[in-house]
Amino acid sequence: MNKQDQGYSLLELMAVVLIIAIIAVSTFPLLHEQMAAREIDMIARRFIAHAQFARAQAFVLGAPVRITPLNGGLWEEGWVVKNVCDESQPKSTCIERQWISQGDLAQVYFKGGGKQFIDPHTTKRGILFNAAGAAKTVQGGFVANRLILGHDRDSGLERHLILGSGGRWRICDPNTDNKSCK
């Protein structure tokens, strides 16, 4: 056995490294897509959890609680859950509280489409849960609506957050759940 038969040649090692590099580069798009889907699902679940918290607080307090965009702006800026003090309540009995706030949605954004929970009477965005836990407009109408989330990394990736008439939330992927996203 001579010295040339021991180990691998430089050419063989370079071929193996090249094959590994090709495999790694070909999986990056799939990895990025999976990470984007995970981020958008996480924001969707967090929004629904905060909306359910707002509804539960309305039950507990026996008073309206609202989830609205931060600073009264767009949903992209984040949202806040707080109780509602209206003109009918004395200032001494109603103390406005802010429980949960979510800002910086990273690369997730709210797309146009859906009605984005805009009250048709006041044109303000947000969901008001009355003391019975129902999502109502200022004029008393029911709010059945949806928000559509998108992601900067993948323009085709979106999730619909849908609030049904019974107060049940669901997350819908229009690429796989065509019937339930309607």
Find the mean pLDDT for residues 76-95: 73
Smallest CA-to-CA distance from 125 within 106, 109, 107, 146 is with 146
Q: Are the beta carbons of 106 and 150 closer than 8 angstroms?
A: no
Tell me how far apart the alpha carbons of residues 91 and 89 are, in angstroms, rounded to a whole number.
Answer: 6
Greater pLDDT, 93 or 156: 156
Whether residue 113 is predicted with pLDDT greater than 60 in this model: the reply is no
Find the mean pLDDT for residues 124-128: 82
Q: Sorting pLDDT into bands at 50, 70 and 90, what band is 30? A: confident
Beta pairing, strands 78-83 & 65-69 = antiparallel
- What's the pLDDT at 143? 63
- What's the pLDDT at 88? 62
Q: Report in angstroms the alpha-carbon separations of 83 from 11, 42, 43, 62, 141.
A: 69, 25, 22, 10, 19
Q: If you classify domain 9-172 with CATH, what class do you get?
A: alpha beta
Q: What is the mean pLDDT of the chain?
A: 80
Domain ranges of the chain: 9-172
Share of the chain above pLDDT 90, in %: 7
